[in-house]
């Protein structure tokens, strides 16, 4: 009997378990959660021979190190980083055979923020409402990884990676987020709306899985006071009283009382997940499809 | 009724009152159940209902604003009874806002039938309406860093119960032993939008039973 488990040797700054998330429960106050860079998570799953819904690890900035108790296929993608097995450099963005008891070390991101680590069979923690994702806003799903934790692994499927190595987009030097205005752009002055879509912002270090916070010109309101709480979508650009736009990411609250000036196209959100603090951000207004 | 587009795949339908939002929410749920509305999320809130995951939001917007939404029918669901002890640390402050004695806060609150208007803030946290406007209270000037699970609280015109320990700025008037959220239970949330709720006192105010 092989021991299908993964021991966490170095948890890193913030490493969580993520899959496709738990959409469909927003009316109960449950965030959708799931991998912030969905395409990167899907790709490492394919490289490790997993179905798209398998749970992977999402690291933040400085990677993590794990020791599988049985021989597995692993793949690291997303933010580029050095990858080592028992100290030997191995390929990033490609399937890697990791023998039982060997140490796979995911190094610090050389660009971008979040690397993804897939293990054949997937991380098999108990699902909550159909998902294994860690939700940092509401605390659903497994806690972030800690040194010494042991994660169960699922059984590998018969899927075989059809690619040996896969190109992945480089993290952006400048983050351009296409937005459609509304639903509450009329709560801001015309000058504020112009500033929002023409001036440059920067990614704030206080960004997290809940929201990409920005630093830049504060947006003045035309309508004072608080908006009665209303439903929020992924990619909503909410403007709190300090006037600095916050782009809602996967762990965002499902309702909120600050006006949403615009909504980011979903296709642009994976790049937002890889934009390190200080990255310039532009909000590019596009017409609604 | 106004239907505001939200991104490319969602619609925020705005109505005139909380009651209208509840009626619209009930109607949209009915349409989804009968199969005439394909949508991923239906999220009611104070004056709006958000529809997310639509393929043709513009068409639905035109259809909704042209149609009359029937008023919410008397809900078929049974009333959920929450046992409560009116022993919260802000009971006296709330009584002062209301201009009544603390025991009168408990009496009025326990005599009210509430409806879950919407959820948010945390899984299982419902915004309960039912108290008349004259009983509105402000949030606390300084939020507490920790509010215990089961705290029964007021803010604005809403009543809520904290499903788990968390920071919070609502006025705490009581405590319930009811488990608001248990993800091992089906359904996980004791309260969901549209649920009717009554608070049933289980002991005199201020007395904590062993």
Greater confidence (A161 vs B96) lies with: B96
Written as six digits, the tokens of B143 are 């939020």
Residue of A3, A65, A79 whose CA lies nearest to A36: A79
Residues near A251 by beta carbon (within 8 Å), at least 6 away in sequence: A31, A33, A135, A136, A137, A138, A208, A209, A210
Indicate which of B43, B124, B162, B191 best probes the interface with A, i.e. most A CBs within 10 Å of its own CB.
B43
| pLDDT for the residue numbered B134 | 95
What residues in B contact A228, CB-CB < 8 Å? 45-48
| pLDDT for the residue numbered B67 | 77
Q: How far is A193 from chain B (nearest CA, A)?
A: 16
End-to-end CA distance of chain A: 54
Residue-wise pLDDT tens digits, A232-247: 999 999 999 999 999 9
* CA quadruple A155, A161, A167, A169: dihedral sign: negative
Residue B158 clears pLDDT 90, i.e. is over it: yes
Interatomic CA distance for residues B91 and B110, integer angstroms: 14
Which residues in chain B (60-99) have CB-CB distances under 8 A to chain A? none
Q: Which of A228, A231, A265 sits opposite B43 (nearest CB)?
A: A231
What residues in A contact B12, CB-CB < 8 Å? 183, 230-231
**Residues A182, B4: C-beta atoms closer than 8 Å:** yes
Percent over 90 (pLDDT), chain B: 85
Q: Which of A23, A28, A255 sits opposite B123 (nearest CB)?
A: A28
**Residues A183, B119: C-beta atoms closer than 8 Å:** no
Interatomic CA distance for residues A230 and B44, integer angstroms: 7
Q: Decide if the complex's ipTM is over 0.90.
A: yes
**Residues A231, B41: C-beta atoms closer than 8 Å:** yes
Residue-wise pLDDT tens digits, A105-140: 999 999 999 999 999 999 999 999 999 999 999 999
The phi, psi pair for A117, rounded to 5°, reads: -125, 115
With tokens 């010109």, the residue in question is: A217
| pLDDT for the residue numbered B206 | 52
Q: How far is B192 from chain A (nearest CA, A)?
A: 6
- Tell me if chain B has a CB within 8 Å of the CB of A253: yes
Residue B208 clears pLDDT 50, i.e. is over it: no
The strands making up B2-6's β-sheet, listed across from edge to edge, are B2-6, B10-14, B48-52, B41-44
- Tell me if chain B has a CB within 8 Å of the CB of A130: no
Q: Which of A140, A265, A266 sits opposite B183 (nearest CB)?
A: A140
Residue of A256, A285, A259 whose CA lies nearest to A185: A259
| pLDDT for the residue numbered B204 | 61
Cα–Cα separations (whole angstroms), residue A186 to A192, A221, B127: 10, 9, 27
Q: How far is B166 from chain A (nearest CA, A)?
A: 10
Q: Which of B6, B45, B193 sits opposite A228 (nearest CB)?
A: B45
Residue A177 clears pLDDT 70, i.e. is over it: yes
Residue A161 clears pLDDT 90, i.e. is over it: no
What residues in B contact A263, CB-CB < 8 Å? 6-8, 10
- Per-residue HEC secondary structure of chain A comes to CCCCEEEEEECCCCCEEECCCCCCCHHHCCCCCCCCCHHHHHHHHHHCCCCCCCCEEECCCCCEEEEECCCEEEEEEECCCCEEECCEEECCCCCEEECCCCCEEECCCCCCCCEEEEECCCECCCCECCECCCCCCCCCCCCCCCCCCEEEECCCCCCCCCCCCCCCCCCCCCEEEEEEECCCHHHECHHHHHHHHHCCEEECCCCCCCEEEEECCCCCECCCCCCCCEECCCCEEECCCCCCCEEECCCCCCEECCCEEEEECHHHHHHHHCCCCCCEEEEEECCCC
pLDDT classification of B71: cutoffs 50, 70, 90: low
| pLDDT for the residue numbered B169 | 93
What residues in B contact A260, CB-CB < 8 Å? 6
| pLDDT for the residue numbered B209 | 44
Residue-wise pLDDT tens digits, A194-220: 999 999 999 999 999 999 999 999 999
Residue-wise pLDDT tens digits, A70-103: 999 999 999 999 999 999 999 999 999 999 999 9
| pLDDT for the residue numbered B65 | 86
Q: Which of B10, B43, B48 sits opposite A27 (nearest CB)?
A: B43
| pLDDT for the residue numbered A157 | 81
**Residues B50, A139: C-beta atoms closer than 8 Å:** no
Interatomic CA distance for residues B208 and B56, integer angstroms: 55
Q: Do the beta carbons of residue A25 and residue A138 sit within 8 Å?
A: no
CA B12 to chain centre: 19
Average pLDDT over residues B41-52: 97
Residue B210 clears pLDDT 50, i.e. is over it: no
- Run of H or E including B92: helix B91-98
**Residues B119, A236: C-beta atoms closer than 8 Å:** no
pLDDT classification of A164: cutoffs 50, 70, 90: low
Residue of A109, A37, A104 whose CA lies nearest to A74: A104
pLDDT classification of B78: cutoffs 50, 70, 90: confident
Interatomic CA distance for residues B156 and B176, integer angstroms: 20
The phi, psi pair for A283, rounded to 5°, reads: -100, 115
Average pLDDT over residues B137-161: 95
Interatomic CA distance for residues A29 and A27, integer angstroms: 6
Closest CA in chain A for residue B10: A233
**Residues B46, A230: C-beta atoms closer than 8 Å:** yes
Average pLDDT over residues A24-43: 96
Q: How far is B204 from chain A (nearest CA, A)?
A: 32
**Residues A27, B12: C-beta atoms closer than 8 Å:** no
Closest CA in chain A for residue B2: A183
pLDDT classification of B68: cutoffs 50, 70, 90: confident
| pLDDT for the residue numbered B66 | 85
């Amino acid at each position: 009997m092989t021991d299908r488990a993964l021991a966490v040797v170095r948890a890193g700054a913030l490493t969580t378990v993520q899959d496709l998330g738990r959409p469909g429960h927003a009316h109960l106050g449950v965030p959708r959660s799931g991998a912030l860079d969905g395409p990167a998570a899907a790709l490492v799953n394919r490289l490790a021979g997993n179905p798209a819904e398998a749970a992977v690890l999402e690291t933040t900035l400085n990677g993590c190190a794990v020791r599988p108790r049985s021989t597995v296929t692993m793949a690291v993608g997303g933010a580029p980083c050095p990858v080592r097995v028992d100290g030997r450099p191995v390929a990033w963005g490609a399937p890697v055979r990791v023998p039982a008891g060997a140490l796979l070390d995911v190094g610090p991101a050389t660009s971008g923020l979040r690397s993804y680590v897939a293990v054949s069979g997937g991380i098999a923690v108990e699902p909550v409402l159909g998902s294994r994702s860690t939700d940092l806003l509401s605390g659903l799903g497994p806690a972030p990884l800690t040194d010494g934790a042991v994660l169960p692994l699922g059984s590998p499927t018969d899927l075989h990676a059809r690619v040996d190595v896969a190109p992945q987009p480089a993290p952006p030097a400048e983050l351009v987020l296409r937005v459609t205005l509304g639903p509450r752009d009329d709560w801001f002055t015309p000058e504020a709306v112009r500033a929002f879509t023409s001036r440059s912002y920067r990614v704030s270090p206080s960004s997290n899985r809940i929201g990409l916070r920005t630093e830049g010109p504060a947006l003045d309101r035309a309508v004072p006071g608080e908006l009665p709480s209303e439903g929020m979508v992924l990619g909503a650009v909410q403007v709190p009283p300090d006037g600095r736009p916050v782009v809602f990411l996967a762990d965002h609250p499902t309702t909120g009382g600050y006006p949403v000036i615009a909504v980011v196209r979903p296709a642009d959100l994976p790049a937002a997940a890889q934009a390190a603090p200080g990255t310039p951000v532009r909000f590019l207004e596009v017409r609604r499809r | 009724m106004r239907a505001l587009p939200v991104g490319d795949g969602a619609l925020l339908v705005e109505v005139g009152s909380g009651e209208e939002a509840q009626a619209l929410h009930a109607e949209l749920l009915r349409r989804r159940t009968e199969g005439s509305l394909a949508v991923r999320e239906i999220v009611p809130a104070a004056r709006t209902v958000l529809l997310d995951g639509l393929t043709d939001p513009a068409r639905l917007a035109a259809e909704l604003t042209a149609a009359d939404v029937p008023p919410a029918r008397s809900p078929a669901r049974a009333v959920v009874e929450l046992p409560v002890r009116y022993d919260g640390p802000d009971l006296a402050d709330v009584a002062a806002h209301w201009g009544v004695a603390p025991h009168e806060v408990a009496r009025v609150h326990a005599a009210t039938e509430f409806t879950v208007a919407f959820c948010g803030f945390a899984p299982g946290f419902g915004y309960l309406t039912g108290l008349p406007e004259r009983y509105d209270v402000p949030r606390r000037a300084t939020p507490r860093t920790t509010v215990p699970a089961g705290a029964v609280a007021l803010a604005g015109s809403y009543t809520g119960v904290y499903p788990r320990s968390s920071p919070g700025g609502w006025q705490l008037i009581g405590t319930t032993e009811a488990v608001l959220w248990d993800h091992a239970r089906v359904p996980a949330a004791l309260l969901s939008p549209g649920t009717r709720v009554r608070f049933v006192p289980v002991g005199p105010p201020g007395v904590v039973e062993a």
